[in-house]
Amino acid sequence: MTQSFWSDAERHLVRYGGPFTPEIIERAAGSFVYTADDRKILDFTSGQMSAILGHSHPAVVRTVQEQIASLDHLFSGMLSRPVVELARRLAESLPEPLTKAMLLTTGAESNEAAIRMAKLVTGKHEIVAFARSWHGMTQAAAAATYSAGHQGYGPTSPGNFAIPAPDSYRPDFLTSDGEFDWRRQLDFGFALVDAQSTGSLAACIVEPILSSGGILEPPPGYLAALAQKCRERGMLLIVDEAQTGLCRTGTWYAFERDGIVPDILTLSKTLGAGLPLAAVVTTDEIEQRAHDRGYLFYTTHVSDPLVAAVGNTVLDVLQEERMEVRAQQLGAYLRAGLLAIQDRHDVVGDVRGRGLMQGIELVVDRKTKEGSDALGAGVTRRCLELGLHVNVVQLPGMGGTFRIAPPLTATVEELALGLEMLDQAIGDVVAA
């Protein structure tokens, strides 16, 4: 049966990224997934960085069972109670003036909707994003994604510009003290944008922590300065919190650390805790202007009641169990463990991140910071053999950077187990 499975997979599946994990997954529960031969694998990435409540959380399972038996999917122009309730609760969880929400399915779709709204409202078309961004694979989202996916698909929409990603580990601008001069880098980036712009700058879209870009966290103050750059140019600021939103970083939303409020916020992965649910949240003023100008984003699964009910359950669990506090506490434990691994292994060049969204970068030499895709691939394989799934950034030149994002429901014992296996895997690969 196993041979037949892989034969059918090779014959019938379209390959859409890196290689498939060489395991057949039969079921999942909590922090673990289980293979066809009943091998237990600790999931250190919450599925696709989404299952913040772990796999098959009892409250989510109960909601799906009850909701699908009564109301699952509707004509896109019809409304249901779960949809309106989730929109209200999202607004209540956010600072003013973010009060209007639209519920969709994926991160790419929510970013597509946000960019489309920004262009319509401003009457402009140019979009700025980080050079190592990932916002999705649909047209406008893909055009604003620079970490991968631009080669071979023809021209993107006109007016897309990249600014340097703020990488404190590999700074491209330095102060006289040798520290990362992010203000000068930001000025440089927007000087390039201004030189290329036709005067039609609509929006800037950013992740508060760049995930596929290598778990890059902008320094404190960076996002506030970026927001000011946008205001000076009449641009809207779109913050993509697909992975950082809803308690993962130790606050409900990662942008809170910097004291800013985006014009448009997009949520996805964590909102459905693994199910396809996304949201665009904006202000009354922007929503009204978009509506007046005929905003159109009519999709098959907009405002679907089933996943909206799941979103309400996710918010219930996050609020009742104070998951933002739990993410702070577990994040501190995880970071301490990763720093201890760095102390034991010279190939661990950097540890970075916030809360339960951490990253480590493997290097051949700490002084030169030379990376190694081969080293990252070897550690990934050895981790899987030991029973740990970690997600390496699968981009050329970045294969030594691991994204570590356990579910918020993980226990200290599970984090300790994952750290132990990661420690052993690095040691084994280096020794070999």
Q: Give 16's Cβ-side CA count (13 Å radius).
A: 5
Q: Is the pLDDT of residue 397 over 90?
A: no
Domain presence at residue 388: yes
Average pLDDT over residues 382-408: 88
- Domain range for 343: 2-57+322-431
Say whether both 217 and 310 belong to one domain: yes
How much of the chain, in percent, has pLDDT values that exceed 70?
99
Please state the domain count of the chain.
2
Say whether both 138 and 203 belong to one domain: yes
Domain boundary pick from 294, 320, 346: 320
Give the contacts of 122 (CB within 8 A, at least 6 positions apart): 202, 203, 234, 235, 236
Residue 36 tokens, joined: 């066809």
Domain boundary pick from 281, 301, 320: 320
Give the contacts of 275 (CB within 8 A, at least 6 positions apart): 60, 64, 307, 310
Per residue in 313-341, pLDDT (tens digit) is: 999 999 999 999 999 999 999 999 999 99
Domain presence at residue 62: no
Q: Is the pLDDT of residue 69 over 90?
A: yes
Average pLDDT over residues 135-143: 97
DSSP H or E stretch at residue 48: helix 46-49
What is the pLDDT at residue 372? 86
Alpha-carbon span 63 to 59, nearest angstrom: 6
Domain presence at residue 122: yes
- Strand order across the 40-43 sheet: 25-29, 32-35, 40-43, 388-389
Domain boundary pick from 259, 288, 320: 320
Tell me the chain's radius of gyration from C-alpha atoms.
Answer: 22
Say whether both 249 and 292 belong to one domain: yes
Say whether both 105 and 218 belong to one domain: yes
Average pLDDT over residues 62-89: 98
Domain presence at residue 66: no
Say whether both 158 and 121 belong to one domain: yes
Residue with tokens 């970071």: 335
Say whether both 94 and 204 belong to one domain: yes
Across the chain, mean pLDDT equals 96
Per residue in 195-238, pLDDT (tens digit) is: 999 999 999 999 999 999 999 999 999 999 999 999 999 999 99
Per residue in 279-323, pLDDT (tens digit) is: 999 999 999 999 999 999 999 999 999 999 999 999 999 999 999
Residues annotated catalytic, as ranges: 134, 207, 240, 243, 269, 403
Domain presence at residue 162: yes
Domain presence at residue 238: yes
Supply the CATH number for residue 260's domain: 3.40.640.10
Say whether both 115 and 246 belong to one domain: yes
Say whether both 130 and 273 belong to one domain: yes
Supply the CATH number for residue 332's domain: 3.90.1150.10
Say whether both 108 and 205 belong to one domain: yes
Residue 106 tokens, joined: 């994926």
Of 17 and 382, more confident: 382
Domain presence at residue 64: no
Say whether both 389 and 257 belong to one domain: no
Q: How confident is the model at residue 18 (pLDDT cuts 50, 70, 90)?
A: confident
Say whether both 349 and 277 belong to one domain: no
Average pLDDT over residues 252-275: 98
Cβ atoms of 202 and 118 closer than 8 Å: yes
- Alpha-carbon torsion (33, 307, 133, 168), positive or negative: negative
The reply to whether omega before 97 is within 30° of 0 (cis) is yes
Domain presence at residue 26: yes
Q: How confident is the model at residue 394 (pLDDT cuts 50, 70, 90)?
A: low
Average pLDDT over residues 183-206: 98
Average pLDDT over residues 418-429: 98
Give the residue from 328, 306, 324 showing the smallest Cα distance to 315.
324
What is the pLDDT at residue 76? 97
Say whether both 82 and 31 belong to one domain: no
